[in-house]
Amino acid sequence: MNSHMIILKNDEEIEFMRAANRLVGMTLGELSHHIKPGITTLELDRIAEQFIRDHGAIPTFLGYGGFPNSICTSVNENVVHGIPNNKPLDEGDVVSIDCGTNLNGFCGDSAYTFCVGEVKEEVKKLLRVTRESLYKGIGQAMEDNRIGDIGSTIQSYCETNGYSVVRELVGHGIGRQMHEAPEVPNYGRRGTGPLIKNGMCIAIEPMINMGGRKVIFENDGWTVRTKDRKPSAHFEHTIAIRNGKADILSTFEFIQETV
Ligand code: MG
Ligand code: MG
């Protein structure tokens, strides 16, 4: 199959996608009750993997391109793709957790940046603005708009707030595969990119830096961090376009909110 082809989903397929994404939301919710100073990201990984398997699904990230764990855990200056490890989280850290499931052959993908204990107000603001930018992007995901309308809206909202948008990593189509066409950048120009159609399923995932937009790819082969080592935030939802507008398939409803 041509990997540039956008695979539209019918209503039945979208309901399978909703189930996989709801499980991702439940997993993030379960993790939110464990995130506190002293817990390690490896412990969080074990909780997530067990929870996903107990619900009859497979953790999509485990072994994906050789990734060693079931969730990505990216602390403070780490943007995405952090590998869980034995270092305890500290009071004042933020940790972005990205989680994927495969349930009955369909993929879920969602991410959330959590506070560990009390976090500085300026960092909480970065989290709030990034999360708001996700919903503003989702608001542009409607039939007859273009993919560039999503990124353009996310970029202008975040830059207006003094933050910068990572360019090297983008959102994506999703379905039976975690990564399908099209790419969904968090930056760009209105009126550009593929036309948005009913049946499209995409993951929108702003990665927003407090400082400059430049990132470094670490030698572990996975971790992406900010060049200036200032904090970064990452929020992601999987959505479907149905009846002309966005139907959010993943959910933050199970998460114990901290910002
Ligand atoms: Mg993700
Ligand atoms: Mg994704």
Q: pLDDT digits over 135-190, tens only?
A: 999 999 999 999 999 999 999 999 999 999 999 999 999 999 999 999 999 999 99
Catalogue the E-assigned strands of the chain: 58-59, 71-75, 78-80, 94-103, 106-115, 164-165, 171-173, 180-184, 201-204, 207-209, 215-217, 224-226, 232-234, 237-242, 245-248
Q: How far does the centroid of ligand 2 lie from the alpha carbon of residue 101, in Å? A: 11
What are the structural domains of the chain?
11-248 (3.90.230.10)
Q: How far does the centroid of ligand 2 lie from the alpha carbon of residue 204, in Å? A: 7
Neighbours of 48 (CB within 10 A): 27
Residue ranges of the chain whose pLDDT lies below 70: 1-3, 258-259
How, if at all, do strands 164-165 and 201-204 pair?
Answer: unpaired
Q: How far does the centroid of ligand 1 lie from the alpha carbon of residue 200, in Å? A: 17
pLDDT at 2: 59
Model confidence, pTM: 0.98
Q: Which ligand sits closest to the CA of 110?
A: 1
Q: How far does the centroid of ligand 1 lie from the alpha carbon of residue 13, in Å? A: 20
Q: How far does the centroid of ligand 1 lie from the alpha carbon of residue 111, in Å? A: 5
Q: Which ligand sits closest to the CA of 61?
A: 1
pLDDT at 256: 85
Q: How far does the centroid of ligand 1 lie from the alpha carbon of residue 168, in Å? A: 15
pLDDT at 207: 98
**Contact predicate 248/137, CB 8 Å:** no
**Which residue type sits at 65?**
G
The answer to whether the peptide bond before residue 182 is cis (omega within 30 degrees of 0) is: yes
Q: How far does the centroid of ligand 1 lie from the alpha carbon of residue 109, in Å? A: 5
Q: What residues flank ion ligand 1 with Cβ within 5 A?
A: 98, 109, 111, 236
